[in-house]
């Protein structure tokens, strides 16, 4: 995992000794001090206080406090929101990975880090029970020299998951980053090493990066490529839906910070979100590996002809071959866009069925070597550590 946002709901769970370090300065109020308009407010919060400590007291945690009013109980409540990168909290970089076994050390480090700037949280259990408002599940996969990151991204850019999730935008920047936006869920693919060497305005990782660059220099990683996949759940409801499904719980159950350290959860979330992309028929064709003797047409004709060798099977073979070549040249989305710019979308299921038929003819073919390599490493539960970096990852 990487970035998380957790929320701790008062009262009497946290206190501050540096209230003047908040903008505006943090001042608590009683319900009787509110205006009549504030008492009836239906806004998510009345005030937001952003923690801005002096430069010499910077901490790797973004802190905000929200003042909210409960109309039912007629009281003013305060919510402490903490946003941080879990691996950067522990190591100062996100090349090294954090998993379920780091639960207690993460809780302790977070608590001690906040104490340093005058933010005191009661028992550690308060952190454990904090509600998760957003979380990024991540995986770093070092690539061998024969597999190029740019080639992987170029192939993944040909895929389409808009029928599996509500895709709002796909961003493919200069062959270096593939970012798929789908409302409150995002999938991001990029080279972790190259990203750490870019200016902040061009990075996908917007957090502090100096320690990461030291790691890159120390272990001579500047000539290496590390495939980085991030599955970002950006809202509380999305976290509840996806994490509770993985944990086989009721979908409306609040997800506590301790829940994301459940054994096997991170791997399960990463693998499931990756497989949604791979298992769509059109995407299978986009990521298709080589046919026997590198003769795809002969292979398709052979597969189609295993049943009745008639005009129908011949049409299936020729149509399937054309669909595969079009997808591998232009991508799944562009194929559909081109077809429906001429023909009506009223019966778009016909195109879907043709793509499905093409995929069924090629079920015995492997994925591209690069995609198979990534898929096999998604299966593994090991984490990149300082030891693995010393051994040349």
pLDDT tens, 6-19? 999 988 899 999 99
Higher pLDDT, 164 or 29: 29
Q: So what's the pLDDT on residue 165?
A: 45
Residues 182 and 311 both lie in one domain: no
Residues 235 and 295 both lie in one domain: no
Q: Is there a domain that residue 372 lies in?
A: no
Residues 53 and 168 both lie in one domain: yes
Q: Is there a domain that residue 171 lies in?
A: yes
Q: Is there a domain that residue 381 lies in?
A: no
Residues 301 and 230 both lie in one domain: no
- When pLDDT is averaged across residues 319-335 and rounded to a whole number, the result is 94
- When pLDDT is averaged across residues 121-134 and rounded to a whole number, the result is 96
Take residue 122 and report the two structure tokens written for it.
């009661």
Residues 245 and 305 both lie in one domain: no
Take residue 353 and report the two structure tokens written for it.
């069925």
Predicted confidence (pLDDT) at residue 167 exceeds the cutoff of 60? no
Residues 106 and 162 both lie in one domain: yes
Residues 200 and 346 both lie in one domain: no
Q: So what's the pLDDT on residue 263?
A: 94
pLDDT tens, 283-318? 999 999 988 878 999 999 999 998 788 889 999 999
Average pLDDT value over all residues in the chain? 90
- When pLDDT is averaged across residues 23-51 and rounded to a whole number, the result is 94
Q: Is there a domain that residue 300 lies in?
A: yes
Residues 250 and 317 both lie in one domain: no
Query: What are the residues whose beta carbons fall under 8 Å from the beta carbon of 310, sequence distance 6 or more?
Result: none
What length is written for the chain?
A: 393
160 and 282 in contact (C-beta within 8 Å)?
yes
185 and 137 in contact (C-beta within 8 Å)?
no
Residues 199 and 272 both lie in one domain: yes
Predicted confidence (pLDDT) at residue 220 exceeds the cutoff of 90? no
- CB atoms < 10 A from the CB of 285, how many? 25
Residues 158 and 294 both lie in one domain: no
Residues 250 and 301 both lie in one domain: no
Q: Is there a domain that residue 185 lies in?
A: yes
Which of 137, 122, 115, 136 is CA-nearest to residue 61? Answer: 115
Peptide bond into 275 cis (omega under 30): no
Residues 211 and 319 both lie in one domain: no
Q: So what's the pLDDT on residue 201?
A: 62
pLDDT tens, 142-164? 999 999 999 999 999 999 876 54
Greatest mean pLDDT range, 72-81, 161-170, 179-188, 383-392 = 72-81
- The whole domain housing 307 covers 290-365
Compute the distance between CA of residue 148 and CA of residue 155 in angstroms, rounded to an integer: 11
Q: Is there a domain that residue 379 lies in?
A: no
Query: What are the residues whose beta carbons fall under 8 Å from the beta carbon of 247, sequence distance 6 or more?
Result: 259, 262, 265
Q: So what's the pLDDT on residue 386?
A: 78
pLDDT tens, 370-380? 999 999 999 88
Compute the distance between CA of residue 8 and CA of residue 322 in angstroms, rounded to an integer: 56
Q: Is there a domain that residue 88 lies in?
A: yes
pLDDT tens, 191-213? 999 888 877 666 666 666 677 88
Higher pLDDT, 81 or 171: 81
Q: So what's the pLDDT on residue 97?
A: 94
Query: What are the residues whose beta carbons fall under 8 Å from the beta carbon of 220, sequence distance 6 or more?
Result: none
- When pLDDT is averaged across residues 45-53 and rounded to a whole number, the result is 96
- CB atoms < 10 A from the CB of 289, how many? 13
Number of domains observed in the structure of the chain: 2
Q: So what's the pLDDT on residue 300?
A: 93
Q: Is there a domain that residue 371 lies in?
A: no
């Amino acid at each position: 995992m990487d970035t998380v946002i957790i929320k701790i709901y008062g009262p009497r769970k946290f206190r501050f000794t540096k209230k003047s370090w908040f903008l505006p300065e943090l001042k608590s109020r009683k319900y009787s001090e509110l205006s009549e308009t504030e008492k009836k407010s239906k806004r998510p919060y009345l005030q937001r206080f952003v923690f801005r400590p002096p430069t010499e007291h910077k901490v790797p945690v973004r802190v905000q406090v929200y003042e909210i009013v409960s109309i039912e109980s007629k009281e003013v409540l305060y919510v402490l929101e903490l946003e941080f990168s879990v691996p950067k909290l522990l190591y100062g970089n996100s090349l090294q990975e954090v998993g379920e076994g780091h639960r207690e050390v993460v809780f302790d480090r977070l608590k001690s880090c906040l104490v340093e700037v005058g933010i005191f949280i009661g028992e550690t259990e308060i952190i454990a029970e904090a509600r998760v408002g957003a979380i990024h599940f991540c995986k770093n996969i070092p690539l061998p020299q024969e597999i190029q990151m740019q080639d992987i991204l170029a192939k993944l850019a040909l895929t389409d998951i808009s029928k599996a999730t509500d895709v709002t935008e796909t961003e493919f920047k200069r062959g270096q980053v593939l970012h798929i936006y789908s409302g409150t869920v995002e999938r991001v693919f990029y080279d972790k090493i190259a990203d750490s060497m870019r200016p902040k305005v061009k990075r996908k990782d917007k957090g502090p990066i100096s320690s990461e660059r030291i790691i890159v220099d120390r272990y001579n990683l500047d000539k290496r490529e590390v495939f980085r996949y991030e599955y970002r759940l950006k809202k509380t409801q999305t976290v509840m839906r996806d994490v509770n499904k993985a944990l086989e719980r009721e979908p409306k159950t609040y997800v506590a910070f301790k829940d994301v350290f459940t054994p096997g959860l991170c791997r399960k979330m990463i693998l499931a979100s990756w497989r949604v992309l791979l298992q769509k028929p059109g995407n299978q064709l986009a990521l298709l590996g080589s046919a026997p003797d590198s003769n795809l047409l002969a292979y398709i004709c052979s597969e189609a002809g295993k049943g009745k060798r008639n005009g129908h099977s011949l049409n299936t073979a020729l149509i399937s071959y054309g669909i595969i070549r079009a997808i591998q040249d232009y991508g799944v989305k562009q194929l559909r866009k081109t077809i429906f710019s001429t023909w009506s979308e009223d019966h778009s299921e016909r195109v879907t069925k043709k793509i499905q038929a093409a995929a069924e003819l090629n079920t015995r073919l492997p994925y591209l070597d690069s995609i198979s390599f990534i898929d096999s490493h998604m299966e593994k539960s090991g984490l990149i550590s300082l030891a693995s970096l010393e051994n040349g990852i």
